[in-house]
Structure 1
Amino acid sequence: MVKIIMHGCNGKMGQVITRLVAEDEGAVIVAGIDTYTGIENPYPVYKSLEECEEEADVVIDFSNAKAVDGLLNMCADRKLPVVLCTTGLSEEQIALVEETAKKTAVLKSANMSLGINLLLKLLKEAAKVLAPAGYDMEIVEKHHNKKVDAPSGTALALADSLNEAAGGVYEYKYDRSSERVARDKKEIGISAVRGGTIVGEHEVLFAGEDEVIEFCHTAYSKAVFGKGALEAAKFLAGKEAGKYDMSDVIQF
């Protein structure tokens, strides 16, 4: 039984993971951390990790960037593994992640979805075959109208996966409206769509002579990210200090 501390337990994702863990026989949340305590949970909730005395195997973090420094420092001191799901970290915080990973296990990924991370692996295999054969590679990502960054971090991770498999010689093209030239063979196009309440959709196209191969992942709710975080926590519990990502969780 993996014992979890849920950091950011009263946020949307914290509550999603709380529900998922309640239905999982292999894990239990022993405590939650959140500055907002107006939600009833089946475990004690503290305003800071320093106040928490419960023994745990791993922390799942879905909080905000302002809370990450204190979390990482405390996990390093306690040698407590942490699944870091908070996005929008500064360069200084990314450096702190690297330092923390020298003292305890840290798992950080651009997207916690098991499906997306499986897709990253599949794309590498596809690109090894199709890129040398001259297939053009394009990515179209769609998100809700409240998302402020474009392209998404996941789209960039997909592009990096393609580029790595293809030898790292491709450049990313975000906008073709400012120039009227034929498509460069050594570019990966990335297009962003924003509208409605789209949770997340990523489509990768390999366009060749007289055929198109498409890979598509659609998230219908935030639960897919919670499920991935939970599986990552089970994986990370008991691991030695070091930096991990979802590719370590998904093995084939």
Structure 2
Amino acid sequence: MRILLNGCGGKMGKVVIEAAKKFDNAIIAAGIDNFTKDSFDFPVFKTIDSCNVSVDVILDFSRPDALEDILKLAEKNNLPVVLCTTGFSDDQIEKINAFSKEHAIFRSGNMSIGINVINNILKNISAFLYENYDIEIIEKHHNQKVDAPSGTALLLGDTIKAAIKADTVYVNGREGIHKREHNEIGVHAIRGGSIVGEHEIIFAGQGETIELKHTAISREVFAVGALKACEFMQGKSKGLYNMDNVLNS
């Protein structure tokens, strides 16, 4: 499986390159990075449209503004896409959904298998707990992360909202006089140091709390999940996929 890695010079790109060396059937055949000055064992192009290397799948760990060029190359060469970038706008998400009608594309707010196990747990318990528990999400990341709340916090929150029949609303942090309403799902973003990623979901009831927490100790968990997604997507012709499909394959 020959992978085109968009964002090869970034922190996650470099972790993916190392993780790929442990996969028997995956190689990074080419990279895209306009800013890196590092040297690699594969050709690196400054722009996506200048890549002339034959690949089987596009893996993206970059920025949301790269989406249009990624989709153009995927459409031109009939390639499946694995999007690991977060922070897409509503218009970009609509574009991704429309693209999936004719082409294969994978998008997930988090590539960790552990996070996606927690996400599946939330599908089963959120509606039951909502009546008697308040729900809060706390996410922590390093001080260079661009988007807040994190894509993972929104992934978990959207799962909770979808499981609950009542109308719920996100409240991103609180300040001043703010008495909590039961239909709120609090989302709190913390940025500092080199925190890889922590996500905690709190169900706070009368006299007790239930907490689900995931801590990413190393970025390798995201790289391995991304490479497994590439394996899953190889040969797919169309459709919108996520980590649930990988876990159930």
Give TM-score scaled by structure 1 length. 0.87
Q: Which residue of 1 aligns with 2:16?
A: 17
Q: Pick from 143, 151, 154: which aligns with 1:153?
A: 151
Q: Which residue of 1 aligns with 2:233?
A: 236
**How far apart are 1:21 and its partner, in Å?**
0.5
**How far apart are 1:148 and its partner, in Å?**
4.9
Query: Is the contact between residue 111 and residue 225 of structure 1 (CA under 8 Å) also seen in structure 2?
Result: yes
Q: Percent identity?
A: 45
Q: Which residue of 2 aligns with 1:42?
A: 41
Residues 51-107 of structure 1: CA distance to partner in whole angstroms, max 9, x if unpaired?
434332211011233332112111012110010123333444334323332332111
Residues 195-251 of structure 1: CA distance to partner in whole angstroms, max 9, x if unpaired?
222222111112223322210011123222212211111111111212112222222
**How far apart are 1:49 and its partner, in Å?**
3.8
What code does the residue aligned with 2:224 have?
A: K
Q: Does 1:217 align with 2:214?
A: yes
**How far apart are 1:120 and its partner, in Å?**
0.9
3-state SS, counterpart of residue 54 of structure 2:
coil
The gaps in structure 1 that reach 5 residues or longer are none
- Cα distance in 2 for partners of 1:187, 1:92 equals 25
Q: Does 1:227 align with 2:224?
A: yes
Q: Which residue of 2 aligns with 1:142?
A: 140
Residues 11-68 of structure 1: CA distance to partner in whole angstroms, max 9, x if unpaired?
2222111110111113122222233463332223333444434332211011233332
Q: Which residue of 2 aligns with 1:190?
A: 187
Number of aligned positions between the proteins? 249
Q: Which residue of 2 aligns with 1:81?
A: 80
Label 1:23 to 1:195 Cα distance change in 2 as closer, same or farther (>3 A): same
Q: Which structure 2 residues correspond to residues 111-150 of structure 1 after superposition, within 5 A?
A: 111-132=110-131, 134-150=132-148
- Cα distance in 2 for partners of 1:11, 1:148 equals 13
- Cα distance in 1 for partners of 2:171, 2:144 equals 23
The root-mean-square deviation of aligned C-alpha atoms, in Å, is 2.3
Q: Which residue of 2 aligns with 1:58?
A: 57
3-state SS, counterpart of residue 224 of structure 1:
helix
Query: Is the contact between residue 73 and residue 100 of structure 1 (CA under 8 Å) also seen in structure 2?
Result: no
3-state SS, counterpart of residue 72 of structure 1:
helix
What code does the residue aligned with 1:213 have?
A: I
Query: Is the contact between residue 11 and residue 63 of structure 1 (CA under 8 Å) also seen in structure 2?
Result: yes
Label 1:105 to 1:19 Cα distance change in 2 as closer, same or farther (>3 A): same
Q: Which residue of 2 aligns with 1:205?
A: 202
Give TM-score scaled by structure 2 length. 0.88
Query: Is the contact between residue 37 and residue 45 of structure 1 (CA under 8 Å) also seen in structure 2?
Result: no
Query: Is the contact between residue 111 and residue 223 of structure 2 (CA under 8 Å) also seen in structure 1?
Result: yes
Residues 94-132 of structure 1: CA distance to partner in whole angstroms, max 9, x if unpaired?
343233323321111222222212211111112133224
- Cα distance in 2 for partners of 1:145, 1:18 equals 23
- Cα distance in 1 for partners of 2:49, 2:191 equals 40
